[in-house]
Structure 1
Amino acid sequence: MTYVVTDNCIACKYTDCVEVCPVDCFYEGENTLVIHPDECIDCGVCEPECPADAIRPDTDADMEKWVEFNRKYAEIWPVIVTKKDPMPGHEDKDGEEGKLEKYFSEAPGEGG
């Protein structure tokens, strides 16, 4: 099992999860995070830290696409280990449907 970030993170990008990760397997895009599924040690400490409920185990239904999504972007985005402020307007977008199609950016974040 591994954990992955889903579209609930897009346009919110809470980073509470990155500080508790013991193996630094989070990577930062311009407006979301991903977890490298091959680096995650399945400890699960990040899942309850996410205010947007965006971190899910790959054993949940229909997670295959999110495993591949996380792997793809973890390979090209910088690692993030330090908590940052969420995105401006995150309150309005938290829980919104269709965020992948509406807001997702492939651009890397700053990392750090």
Structure 2
Amino acid sequence: MRAIFGRKVTNLTELKELTEQAIKSGQRGQSYCVIKEVLLEDDEFHSFAKDFFNDQAWITKEDGGVIEQREVRCIRVINQDTDEKVLVNNEGYTYPRYTAIETLVVSE
């Protein structure tokens, strides 16, 4: 599976716009693997999605990065009410440094 990750994207609205533009321009995205899942209630998910620069208690500095197979290690954040999904690669930080929309996955 592949996804288009954006670096230091402000919020979910911006991520959706950037992802759509990237797909239109032919970008294929990066391979990724999910190392853990976080299930959030709708209000928690919207709070998370409106400001990706906020530190999150469920992100540890050990999460994220890239493994030898060139796959991005990421956290799948799921809105339990809508099933909307955001992938997070924190690259050693405690906020979502790189984000992608899993529902707009680009096939290999």
Scaled by the length of structure 2, the TM-score of the pair is 0.27
* Structure having the larger proportion of residues in helix: 1
More strand by share: 2
Structure number with higher relative contact order (C-alpha < 8 Å, ≥ 6 residues apart): 1
- The normalised TM-score by structure 1 is 0.26
